Structure 1
């Protein structure tokens, strides 16, 4: 060493391409257009290896020589400096994940980065752990947490009557411990957490409250028609039973997605309930929702207030915020104001079950057509991959008949079982007409 000095280094000017200045014994200064960096170069197993030592002048010449000699001494002792650095980097990585909370936050960040979770879901999981786990074991090294400590955390949640939350928290903890094993933070033998930890009973399956009796539905429709609250909320209440889409999907609707002339609402994947990677996949199609005449009337009435661009159901809390949506609890709050218990009687999501049940029972539509309108995936093996039919024309007829039926119910008309028969007669006539058209086409070709 000794070929360089500070004067030579300072006078070295950048060029179009980077170049090296040799100091000797493997120490070089790499001159780049924007920086000067010390590099130690050597050969290992017949191949050239390079180690970055640090930038100049933050790392002065004397210190760079000292570091290069230390690397040379390791090589003389038969140690590859690159392996030493890798081991040190691994120790530092494990040190950054040495507590349950640090590991849990790294797991959540990784799941979001890999597009497995939306930002909202990642925030929800984080909040559960912040409330129920971090205060008790968050600052502890994972291999020092006793099984009984985690069990106590889970039972605190259960004893407050939140069994489903306890189940979700346990599921998250199971994933955190497995993530720690995968990263090498925790020895596999120390992973005591599994899906049975805590002995929690399975939560009872509980469906969204929904009205499926025609007389009760008629009363609800009349109550909605008499609603005297916010006009935007009233419009959402009227559309919810007609279109029976998910409440989150409805409140995120944009005018740009609605074709009033074409009587169609195109719901982009990012506003649908699906995996995060599916939302970001350009091949995922939009969900098409045909609009009956009654829905078009509601939307045209709302257009001067919230249109022609941006959210259809815009929050009026701050009129200056043109892109602010109404709350995800707005429809349920309105139902409660109308006197309906959203736990036992009716919820915004329950309109889907209402329509699914009564369209099948009273109008006789095929299950597959209704399921596609609900944006449910096919339950057949590989159905989601190969069956991509939208049944759009059938669904246009179905939603119009459903909207007409809702009008009849609201007007106090009695729905007779014969209505199903009338539908079947109309359907058979349509099928016969289609068959006759095909026969005529075949005859004309011959």
Structure 2
């Protein structure tokens, strides 16, 4: 039964010391999803640090620096299962200098869980994380107003913060927002319903996650097959075999389909779809397969096989939303490598169209250098055409990263508009 459970990926986000790691620790602890040896190790560490009980944050803060400083730095992934659903949690940092890690953790999430300290209300980091959740098209947002025990479980405080966040959400493309008052430290409304807040009639956090409807984020309409490599076996029985291997990004492919190879524009029909276990009558995302065509066409890594009647845009000038992730600034005309599906080539930031003021969510006309954590709309020019869809329609073909050639570090994540 557990193998058939639907998988839900959710990310946590919030400012420093909002209690993200403690919330996840409480979720794992109260749902009995922790192994005994893990629990014993955490109890021992907690005693050494002078805590009376178990320090729940230690269940996710695994790096030495994290334990010493009492903060989250790296994206920590945790897995647990309940009788109703399987979960992958991405615990992301709250520090502003680690916003890039929040982008990483949220990029594959079905749900964004944003924590707000009940004492402080909505702050700049809250707005930043809400904007990123909207930018990444995360369909569901759960706002956990934490540390309610420090404001005497006040319904008025909760309602005021709900009003603050709803004002932000009205400016963003967030479809489903839910609010839960919690105390991660005490366990109120995390797994079990709180007795301290009888005025809250909604479900606890775990029940909300278990029962929330999650639709697939895979585009099932647009056939996109980025070629990763060309297979040419050297044994006698397959000497004439020429297959194009890769992972289907979206859509469905069948033998006999009319396809176009981009960017060359040559057309053909699918001859066979092969896997290690044999031939298939159809293949769909996210399967990894090898496709053979009826015609000999010059195809290499980075090309894309698509349905002839449904083609992506192929352009060298692309307008994108860019999240700058690096300490070093980037100026217009700066050159980087762009990695998009299996395509890796040179690119240049041609123009900075505007930046987003996180405090007001207004657009600022500012063509100066991009700084770390800047979110902006830019125009990128590539050396060869990229086959792209808008991120709203296709997460795989609508996203990319920029890489510094000298250091091989990822400097930006982008979404095609």
Same fold (TM over 0.5): no
Query: Normalized against structure 2, the TM-score is what?
Result: 0.26
| Higher strand content, 1 or 2 | 2
User: Rg bigger for which structure?
Assistant: 1
